[in-house]
Amino acid sequence: MAIRGILRPGEVCIRVMDKEKARRHYGEIMGLHEVLEEDDKLYFKCWDEWDHHSVVLRVTDRPGMDYLAFKVYSDAGLDDLEAKLKGRDYEVEHIEAGVYPKSGRRIQFTLPTGHTMQFYAEKEQLGNTMGAHNPGVIPDDGVVRGVETPGLDHILLGGQDIDACLELFTELFDFDFVEQLIDAESKMKLAVFLSCSNKPHDIAFVRQPEDNKFHHASFRLENAADVVKAADRLGKYRVPIDVGPNRHGVTRGATIYFFDPSGNRNEVFAEGYVHYPDIPTLTWDTDELGAATFSQDFTPRQSFLEVLT
């Protein structure tokens, strides 16, 4: 298997302002499984994720993201990543095992866009009820619910120096530079999409006038029909919709965007294409901004471009 090193976005900590409203949104409506509650935090996993949790909600007085954590293949990989970061003069903080629940040791640093990012290699696994021996094809009854998302897919972050983030992820972390949106006249990069897997993106950055901004956390679905079903459920419970259902030109993913009760944007995302390292970086420019963002009606939305937490 070729995928080693950094595996995937394994955990995102989202700030929420009302614990019970957030619990209902992410638990009952989204269908994530609550696995732990601490004083000011709720921990959730998606049904087909083996690790203990992938979403942490922290109750505070403002929305946004506290940190993003990627899981790496081995504990030795943390030492390698730390050496690379220190070689570029990044300050690296050590977090001992157990400080974060059910998790091994972590390293933490600040991205050029001001976001807090962590790497970890170990987390307790709860499984998906199907087991690893003769697992079958569906989980136990009642496990799949809500919008039926099997897992956390990717994160989109906003900040000023996305060029430095592009360099960091491609040169130090071995991510592929999969797609970009550029200004048609100046050729300035406005958004970059990066992958450590075969997905169109595992993380993306959009240029913004303020650092440390959170655009959305995206949850995977199996197909475009499931996106429409998710829209029906979101409509039933009057969840505020930003865009969708639609399809992106960038990544080709079927999508719907919506907001949690604190104003944080969520996405459900399906399909897209399979990425391989020998595929050249795909480029969209602002002459086709509508089709790049939403290909079915080629209409850019100001809220999508400007509203971040």
Taking the domains of the chain in order of start, what are their residue ranges?
Answer: 6-120, 152-306
Active-site residue identified among 11, 267, 271, 275: 267
- Residue 154 annotated to the active site: yes
2 band by pLDDT with thresholds 50, 70 and 90: low
d(CA 288, CA 266): 24
- Residue 201 annotated to the active site: yes
**Contact residues for 61 (Cβ-Cβ < 8 A; gap 6+):** 17
**Contact residues for 227 (Cβ-Cβ < 8 A; gap 6+):** 221, 244, 245, 254, 255, 256, 268, 269, 270
d(CA 157, CA 214): 5
Q: Strand 213-221 relative to strand 241-247: parallel, antiparallel, unpaired?
A: unpaired
- The model's pLDDT over 98-155, given as tens digits with 9 standing for 90+, comes to 999 999 999 999 999 999 999 999 999 998 888 999 998 988 988 999 999 999 999 9
Domains 6-120 and 152-306 share a fold: yes
- The model's pLDDT over 231-247, given as tens digits with 9 standing for 90+, comes to 999 999 999 999 989 99
Whole-model pTM?
A: 0.96
Active-site residue identified among 25, 154, 215, 275: 154
- Residue 257 annotated to the active site: yes
pLDDT above 70 (res 178): yes
Q: How far is CA 221 from CA 55, 68, 187, 254, 268, in A?
A: 16, 21, 33, 9, 6
Q: CATH number of the domain at 6-120, out of 3.20.20.70, 3.40.50.2300, 3.10.180.10, 2.60.40.180? A: 3.10.180.10
Q: How far is CA 275 from CA 2, 129, 221, 282, in A?
A: 13, 30, 18, 11
Active-site residue identified among 201, 215, 271, 275: 201
Active-site residue identified among 25, 148, 257, 275: 257
Element (H, E) at 58: strand 55-59
pLDDT of res. 4: 79
CATH 3.40.47.10 fits 152-306, yes or no: no
